[in-house]
């Protein structure tokens, strides 16, 4: 498959990323060359959705031009090629997160992956899946535990699951800096806990949560662990086996891939025992007018015609990330994140959420500007061609806990330069003056 991206050799260097290399990387991302409001686009919203390199766009186009066909159905040539490319993509994504091939289930996005789990647990609670699925069944007296910093996608499905099954929903609170209160976690997670769901890295605070400690607490309680890897899979080396979680979810569009594709990772023995959520074509063994038998994972969770071009394009995305090197990307974004936090903290009237400067965080920062609403901050920045996210970032409870309704968030990726961060900081320092804040 021909790709026009920069040669991998240029990106596989052992040295750390620097601005010169980032400028070369940017050439692979057509959208980064455009202007907004007469200014060069400064894209600082990769935490919401990332941009796509040419190799990803080309992979999707190549599929439609050369091998468009439904997978796992039909014996014709295109169908065979499409199926191979689709399953190769699964292998690439599995390897990228340290999983085995059978342990990656395609979904539309992380939200759908969490819902898939929650509804499969629901079905188990109704007795579906028989004895093997009894371990997933929830009933009054059982507890589902999440955290106060969750994205709504890893929160509401669990609240709903609790409501459907009579289980109790609980959460680990955060402190004023947004860190999980681990002493409370130890008290909350106990013999009643059936599920512990938490985010690896916070999309608002930038905090990286202590996965080993949380997993140890869950293991001690016999609970299943669900990891929201939406903000970690794209930005740091992720190994779901090393982290020893039972399930993990992530979205393709946040890791250089297209929209419409995400994945659920699950330990194979768990996925094979879990009753399906969506049912229909392509996930069955034998169907009669009385009922059906189901294929093992991952097919058992992939009913209906799949997102084929998107899966193939996501594989191109993880290849791009792998060739560039996740360690290097992580180090670069950590440096950008530090620059962001230090710069923002030095601006009068700006309060940065999350860990203080110097403490670990991924390359993003959400902040409040005293006297100026986040929407106005975002508008001011947009006028300068700077794209940021404003609002509650799908984390209302966390904002409420921190005494805010909306914040502005700048989030980086491998294609952001230090000059962009500096231009962003310079613009933020003008915001309060423009809106006459403090008058």
Partner 1 sequence: MSGLDALYQQIILDHSKARHGSGLDTPAPAGAEAVSHQLNPVCGDEITLRAVVEGGRIRQLRWDGAGCAISMASASVLSDLAEGMELAEFGVLAGAFREMMRSRGKIEPDEEVLAEAAAFAGVSRYAARVKCAMLAWVAAEDAVGRASGGASG
Binding-site member from 399, 402, 410, 411 for partner 1 (CB under 8 A): 399
Count CB neighbours of 277 within 10 A: 19
Measure the CA angle with vertex 317, ends 316 and 323; round to 5°.
90
Binding of residue 155 to ligand PLP (CB under 6 A): no
Q: Report the C-alpha gap between 401 and 409 in whole angstroms.
A: 17
8 Å CB contact between 151 and 229? no
Binding of residue 392 to partner 1 (CB under 8 A): yes
Structure tokens belonging to residue 246: 């039972």
Q: Please say which residue, 128 or 373, places its beta carbon nearer to partner 1.
A: 373
Q: Report the C-alpha gap between 335 and 373 in whole angstroms.
A: 28
Binding of residue 68 to partner 1 (CB under 8 A): no
Binding-site member from 6, 146, 153, 189 for ligand PLP (CB under 6 A): 153
Q: Looking at 220-228, 318-326, 399-407, 422-430, which segment touches partner 1 (CB under 8 A)? A: 399-407
Binding-site member from 5, 52, 165, 251 for ligand PLP (CB under 6 A): 251
Instruction: Residue 110: name its binding partner from partner 1, ligand PLP, none (Cβ under 5 to 8 Å by kind).
Output: ligand PLP
Q: Report the C-alpha gap between 419 and 208 in whole angstroms.
A: 26
Instruction: Residue 109: name its binding partner from partner 1, ligand PLP, none (Cβ under 5 to 8 Å by kind).
Output: ligand PLP
Q: Report the C-alpha gap between 334 and 58 in whole angstroms.
A: 30
Q: Report the C-alpha gap between 162 and 138 in whole angstroms.
A: 8
Binding-site member from 366, 374, 414, 427 for partner 1 (CB under 8 A): 374
To ligand PLP, the closest distance from the beta carbon of 334 in angstroms equals 18
Q: Report the C-alpha gap between 283 and 293 in whole angstroms.
A: 9
Q: Looking at 186-194, 228-236, 301-309, 339-347, which segment touches ligand PLP (CB under 6 A)? A: 228-236
Burial 286-301 (b: 16+ CB within 10 A, else e): eeeeeeeebbebbbbb
394 given a catalytic annotation? yes
Binding-site member from 220, 379, 430, 433 for partner 1 (CB under 8 A): 379
Binding of residue 37 to partner 1 (CB under 8 A): yes
Side-chain half-sphere exposure of 415, counting CA atoms within 13 A: 26
To partner 1, the closest distance from the beta carbon of 381 in angstroms equals 10
To partner 1, the closest distance from the beta carbon of 227 in angstroms equals 28
Q: Are β-strands 193-199 and 143-147 bridged in parallel, bridged antiparallel, or unpaired?
A: parallel
Angle between helices 308-324 and 77-96 (to 10 degrees): 40
Binding-site member from 228, 246, 333, 420 for ligand PLP (CB under 6 A): 228
Binding of residue 111 to ligand PLP (CB under 6 A): yes
Q: Are β-strands 350-352 and 364-369 bridged in parallel, bridged antiparallel, or unpaired?
A: antiparallel
Q: Report the C-alpha gap between 352 and 243 in whole angstroms.
A: 29
Cis peptide before 298 (omega within 30 of 0): yes
Q: Report the C-alpha gap between 159 and 155 in whole angstroms.
A: 6
Binding of residue 286 to partner 1 (CB under 8 A): no
Binding-site member from 159, 335, 383, 429 for partner 1 (CB under 8 A): 383
In the set 99, 394, 423, 427, the catalytic residue is: 394
Binding of residue 406 to partner 1 (CB under 8 A): yes
Residues lying near ligand PLP in the complex (CB under 6 A): 48, 109-111, 151, 153-154, 199, 203, 228, 230-231, 251, 262, 394
Which residues lie near partner 1 (CB under 8 A)? 37, 372-376, 379-380, 383, 390-392, 396, 399, 405-406, 434-436, 439
Catalytic residues: 394
């Amino acid at each position: 498959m021909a790709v026009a991206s920069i040669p991998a050799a240029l990106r596989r260097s052992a040295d750390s990323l620097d601005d010169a290399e980032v400028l070369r990387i940017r050439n692979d991302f057509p959208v980064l060359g455009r202007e907004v409001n007469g200014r060069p686009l400064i894209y600082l919203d990769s935490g919401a959705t990332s941009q796509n390199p040419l190799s990803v766009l080309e992979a999707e186009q190549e599929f439609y031009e050369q091998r468009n066909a439904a997978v796992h159905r039909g014996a014709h040539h295109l169908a065979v090629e499409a199926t191979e490319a689709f399953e190769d993509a699964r292998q690439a994504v599995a390897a990228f997160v340290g999983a085995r091939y059978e342990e990656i289930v395609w979904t539309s996005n992380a939200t759908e992956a969490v819902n898939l789990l929650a509804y499969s647990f629901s079905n188990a609670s109704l007795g579906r899946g028989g004895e093997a699925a009894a371990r997933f069944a929830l009933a009054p007296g059982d507890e589902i535990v999440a955290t106060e910093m969750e994205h709504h996608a890893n929160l509401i499905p669990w609240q709903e699951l609790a409501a459907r099954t009579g289980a109790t929903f609980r959460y680990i609170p955060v402190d004023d800096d947004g860190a999980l209160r681990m002493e409370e976690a130890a008290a909350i997670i106990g013999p009643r806990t059936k599920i512990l769901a938490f985010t690896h890295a916070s999309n608002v605070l930038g905090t990286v949560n202590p996965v080993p400690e949380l997993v140890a607490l869950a293991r001690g309680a016999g609970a299943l662990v669900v990891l929201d890897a939406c903000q970690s899979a794209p930005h740091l080396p992720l190994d779901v086996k090393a982290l020893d979680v039972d399930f993990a979810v992530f979205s393709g569009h946040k890791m250089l891939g297209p929209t419409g594709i995400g994945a659920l990772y699950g330990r194979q023995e768990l996925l094979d025992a879990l009753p399906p959520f969506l049912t229909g074509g392509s996930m069955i063994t034998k169907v009669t007018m009385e009922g059906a038998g189901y294929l093992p994972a991952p097919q058992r969770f992939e009913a209906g015609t799949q997102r084929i071009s998107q899966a193939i394009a996501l594989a191109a995305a993880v290849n791009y990330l792998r060739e560039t090197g996740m360690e290097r990307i992580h180090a670069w974004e950590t440096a950008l994140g530090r620059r962001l936090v230090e710069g923002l903290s030095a601006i009068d009237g700006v309060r940065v959420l999350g860990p203080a400067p110097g403490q670990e965080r991924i390359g993003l920062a959400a902040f409040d500007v005293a006297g100026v609403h986040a929407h106005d901050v975002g508008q001011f920045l947009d006028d300068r061609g700077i794209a940021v996210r404003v609002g509650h970032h799908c984390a209302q409870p966390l904002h409420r806990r921190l005494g805010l309704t909306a914040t502005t968030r700048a989030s980086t990726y491998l294609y952001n330069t230090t000059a962009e961060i500096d231009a962003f900081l310079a613009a933020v320092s003008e915001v309060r003056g423009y809106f006459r804040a403090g008058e």
